[in-house]
Structure 1
């Protein structure tokens, strides 16, 4: 029994106790074996698997933001990006970038050609016949004055007057004005009303009573709205790939008529049939449900209005947030250049010069905020119940109208542009072959020929027409 009590005292000490006891001796042994010299540079020199101290790591370079190849850390004021032939015209505190081509400049060029021995032919005399009306060019969404660069000078020669193109707010090199609904400014610079006012102001700027308005895509909306605002100031409208009607499915009238006829055949309407109590009860029941359905429809419509208003406010708040700005930068970076190429009939013919022309405005400060404010203004305008859409007023246009489209327009299909031409009384409709959404850029010669034929038909005086016939 005593031997059993003595067994615990004979157990060996724990392994941990042995290690702790041996630690001082092992440590002194390691210190004795370490060679003399300077201390190690870092812990990783002794232990290759360890992580270096953060203080000794090289500083990280901040990632630079780029949108469509444009460095967003080196943005400039729009004035600093202007071309030698750029001008600025201030309206309500907004500096509108524009360019002007004059036929007088072309006359100087032609006179220098004549002095060098060139001969003026009869066709040159016809080309110089007086139309005498200035032209205002209105670009589409995402474009700028650049989109008219290939046709401005030829148009000036054609009409024997000045041709002006300007960048609407949020586009090109026009200043990015800060604006919100709480501002005391009289007019939102990103609204349709401001673009219309600027269009009419530029007619005054040219010192003209009337002008020919040439709009492209969404710029056609500005041209038509300017006509309705002051029809006496608009001599003619040229609508290029007009983005006025939203694409929709066309339902054939005969099919709908057949369905209505089939539905009416299922309703008993024989007055000579014997009275049927069940039929009368069923008819009254249907009438009751008809009234109930009408009441429910009115309630749902009212609820939809409230929900729609709430959704619009939520959408506007999101677009004005930092997430909205990040979203628009991402969209422009991923799809901006692709959208330009998709607008052409043959995307492979889009040169670097064209890409640079469309991406240049991305170098200006505040471009994403301005683009978002323009989008917000479009949403609010479309939700306005008091304003009649332009698409429902096209029949009121009485000035000469030309509608031009490309046969392979992927953005505004040719059949959609033809709908606009049919809705305007007396409008002329022309289709340019092997052409996409930008006839003035992709097929400038064909575009100028179509526009010239239209303008000379509408505005050439009888003497000029006789002269042309004689030639």
Structure 2
């Protein structure tokens, strides 16, 4: 496992094989994917921290979905990657969809966890309010982290997996406040990609208690992406890779085996 700083992005790169780009969500980092690495041994796994998240500094311009996509395109170009599988979570799934539409022929597959095309209109003011709270510094980030642990994990996770609650809380609390605030603003302003143009194998995974990516919304996504497949995990909230890592790995192994 090696970490590099490439074009201002902190990137962990593991293994050999076909390239797999992993895009974390709001409040995440390269460690969003650490629980799944055992299922990805056939790939060259590229796990950046998005601009403004975790160890990667902010860009000169305010963060946007388009800016995230451009940063990842530049990263792949620097690494000499001409075609790539993409795995993403939450906010990262929006970026992944834009990448797939922007780069036809370069994206080989999509595995999207807690996926959404864009926030619903009713949610956008709350996301902007979270950005303002984040600018309150450490105290604001702690309040945000506690609210996310409470609202975005399942009752089963709360009752049975206290370490997962600590991991989610730590992931959010360790975010740079301004970077997290701008990430919230980027998500609040996000618009849907033309996902009907996505023509690659696509796996859509959500939890039965995921309020960000409810199964009904994900099912609607599946009807718009030709050949996609939806999977719903029981007893799972929005932090899919932390709450149900074994199920995630099983689905990924089946999905990637189907591509060979």
TM-score (norm 2): 0.83
Distance change >3 Å, CA 98–CA 355, structure 1 → 2:
same
User: How far did residue 342 of structure 1 move?
Assistant: 3.3
Alignment match, 1:429? 230
Distance (Å, rounded) in 2 between the aligned partners of 1:209 and 1:332: 38
8 Å CA contact retained: 1:101, 1:153: no
Distance (Å, rounded) in 1 between the aligned partners of 2:232 and 2:93: 17
Distance change >3 Å, CA 176–CA 432, structure 1 → 2:
same
8 Å CA contact retained: 1:344, 1:350: no
Alignment match, 2:192? 390
Unmatched runs of 5 consecutive residues or more in structure 2: 123-127
User: How far did residue 99 of structure 1 move?
Assistant: 1.0
Alignment match, 1:325? 135
3-state DSSP of counterpart to 1:243: coil
User: How far did residue 153 of structure 1 move?
Assistant: 3.9
Distance (Å, rounded) in 1 between the aligned partners of 2:119 and 2:180: 21
Mapping 1:27-38, distance limit 5 Å: none
Distance (Å, rounded) in 1 between the aligned partners of 2:58 and 2:121: 35
User: How far did residue 239 of structure 1 move?
Assistant: 1.4
> Are 1:337 and 2:155 matched, yes or no?
no
Alignment match, 1:241? 114
User: How far did residue 404 of structure 1 move?
Assistant: 0.8
Distance change >3 Å, CA 374–CA 429, structure 1 → 2:
closer
Alignment match, 2:158? 347
* Pairing partner for 1:358 from 143, 150, 171: 171
Alignment match, 1:161? 43
Alignment match, 1:170? 52
Mapping 1:75-94, distance limit 5 Å: 85-90=2-7
Mapping 1:4-403, distance limit 5 Å: 85-90=2-7, 95-103=8-16, 132-155=17-40, 157=41, 160-177=42-59, 179=60, 188=61, 190-247=63-120, 325-326=135-136, 330-345=139-154, 346-348=157-159, 349-351=161-163, 354-355=167-168, 357-359=170-172, 361-362=174-175, 367-378=176-187, 381-382=189-190, 389-390=191-192, 393-403=194-204
3-state DSSP of counterpart to 1:453: helix
3-state DSSP of counterpart to 2:50: coil
User: How far did residue 145 of structure 1 move?
Assistant: 1.2
CA RMSD, aligned part only? Answer: 2.9
Larger Rg over CA atoms: 1
TM-score (norm 1): 0.48
Distance change >3 Å, CA 334–CA 175, structure 1 → 2:
same
8 Å CA contact retained: 1:409, 1:437: yes
Unmatched runs of 5 consecutive residues or more in structure 1: 1-83, 104-131, 180-187, 250-314, 383-388, 461-471
> Are 1:417 and 2:218 matched, yes or no?
yes
> Are 1:441 and 2:250 matched, yes or no?
no
Distance (Å, rounded) in 2 between the aligned partners of 1:163 and 1:203: 12
CA deviations on 1:407-460 (whole Å, 9 max, x unpaired) are 221332121111111121121111122222122222111111112212221x21
Distance (Å, rounded) in 2 between the aligned partners of 1:153 and 1:213: 17
CA deviations on 1:358-412 (whole Å, 9 max, x unpaired) are 15634xxxx2223333344455x55xxxxxx425x22121111111111221332
Q: Which has the higher contact order (CA 8 A, sep 6+)?
A: 2
User: How far did residue 165 of structure 1 move?
Assistant: 0.9
8 Å CA contact retained: 2:149, 2:169: no
Distance (Å, rounded) in 2 between the aligned partners of 1:192 and 1:411: 18
Distance (Å, rounded) in 2 between the aligned partners of 1:353 and 1:166: 22
| Greater Cα offset, 135-144 or 431-440 | 431-440
Distance (Å, rounded) in 2 between the aligned partners of 1:360 and 1:336: 6
CA deviations on 1:47-104 (whole Å, 9 max, x unpaired) are xxxxxxxxxxxxxxxxxxxxxxxxxxxxxxxxxxxxx8432112xxxx211211115x
